[in-house]
Amino acid sequence: MWSNIPLFPEQASTIAGQIDGLFAFLVGVSLFFGGLICAVLVYCALRYRRRSEDERPLPIHGNLRLELLWTGVPLALAMVMFFWGANLYIANARPPANALEILAVGKQWMWKFQHPAGAREINELHVPLGHPVKITLASEDVIHSVYIPAFRVKMDAVPGRYTTVWFEATKTGTFHLFCAEYCGTSHAAMIGRVVVMTPSEYERWLSGGAAQESPVAAGERLFEQLGCPTCHRMDGTGRGPTLAGLFGQTQRLQTGETVVVDEAYVRESILLPNAKVATGYTPAMPTFQGQISEDGLFQIIAYIRSLSSDKRR
């Protein structure tokens, strides 16, 4: 039975070992101080136990040097922990530029994953080994959270905005993917799997599935369906700005401020069009809140991105 009690999850990503190393340091410090306190407690408890009711120990008020010592040493250790943890955190905060971009939508109570080439999965995510993977997260309803213990990553999927999380898998195999933010009745059922394959296997898997519409194509279809070209003419003569080459640029707004045209801005422009109106245009765009799902939003964004001159995969 005892061999069934593991202490660490598998280390299956580039940062897992680093996190475990820091964790081991924290455990070491805790064992040291915990053990020290327990040892002193036990020692004093035995050595100074009351032997007669008349005992009146000498009062000891305190010792400034001791106070400074046991304030200073924990403070120093705390700073070591802070810097170590902050360092790891900042170093891993931004995904590498060549990351494979997966779009994920969490909804009660399932995960939907969209590969850039078109493959779609539910509750399962196939990724290649040794290649950074960046997941852009959205939620259809409440707050969810993508948690892959073997990779030591976690990020909330917050409705109304996009969040991102990235990892690079270092082992093939199947790993748990949990929803780690309570989201209602079947929160515990929102379990998925991450399947890590060698790059060649991954390619095979991608091409092996039934030919699926790529998000760009689906986005273009939605774009037509919802009537966007009525105002957003490609030649720029429409009531709304042309979207060709727009993604990634800096856009000046009516108020004089500037904003980078990224996923979040495009999403906001579709759902709350008059929050940040481009300069030279009137706030005439209607909202599409309620008419388009998070998947749909991802697809339109993919389409608009494809219209820009530097096509990123």
Burial 259-293 (b: 16+ CB within 10 A, else e): bebebebbbebbbebeebbbeeeeeebeebeeebe
Q: Does 161 bind other proteins (CB under 8 A)?
A: yes
The H or E element that residue 39 is part of is helix 16-47
Least distance between other proteins and beta carbon 126 (Å): 20
Q: Does 274 bind other proteins (CB under 8 A)?
A: yes
9 vs 238, beta carbon nearer other proteins: 9
Q: Does 141 bind other proteins (CB under 8 A)?
A: yes
Candidate residues 17, 67, 124, 239; the one interacting with other proteins per rule CB under 8 A? 67
Task: Output the six-digit token pair for 152.
Answer: 């030591």
Whether the CB-CB separation of 190 and 111 falls below 8 Å is answered with yes
Task: Output the six-digit token pair for 282.
Answer: 């009137």
229 vs 286, beta carbon nearer other proteins: 286
What's the rounded Cα separation, in Å, for the pair 94 and 108?
28
Least distance between other proteins and beta carbon 281 (Å): 13
What are the DSSP E strand ranges found in 160-313? 163-168, 173-179, 192-197, 250-252, 258-260
Binding to other proteins in span 191-230, by CB under 8 A: 191
Candidate residues 96, 98, 188, 224; the one interacting with other proteins per rule CB under 8 A? 188
109 vs 113, beta carbon nearer other proteins: 109
Q: Does 56 bind other proteins (CB under 8 A)?
A: yes
Lay out the site mask for other proteins across 89-128 (x = CB under 8 A, - = otherwise): xx-xx--------------x--------------------
Least distance between other proteins and beta carbon 180 (Å): 4
Lay out the site mask for other proteins across 230-269 (x = CB under 8 A, - = otherwise): ----------------------------------------
> Which range in 16-24, 119-127, 202-210, 212-220 contacts other proteins by CB under 8 A?
16-24
What's the rounded Cα separation, in Å, for the pair 299 and 110?
19
Beta 144-148 vs 173-179: how paired, if at all? antiparallel
What's the rounded Cα separation, in Å, for the pair 282 and 197?
50
Binding to other proteins in span 278-307, by CB under 8 A: 283, 285-287, 289-290
74 vs 245, beta carbon nearer other proteins: 74
- Report the candidate in 270, 294, 264, 290 with the shortest Cα–Cα distance to residue 103: 294
1 vs 210, beta carbon nearer other proteins: 1
Candidate residues 205, 273, 293, 306; the one interacting with other proteins per rule CB under 8 A? 273
How distant, in Å, are the alpha carbons of 20, 34, 74, 84 from that of 23? Answer: 5, 16, 17, 11
Count the Cβ atoms, other than its own, within 10 Å of residue 97: 8
112 vs 152, beta carbon nearer other proteins: 152
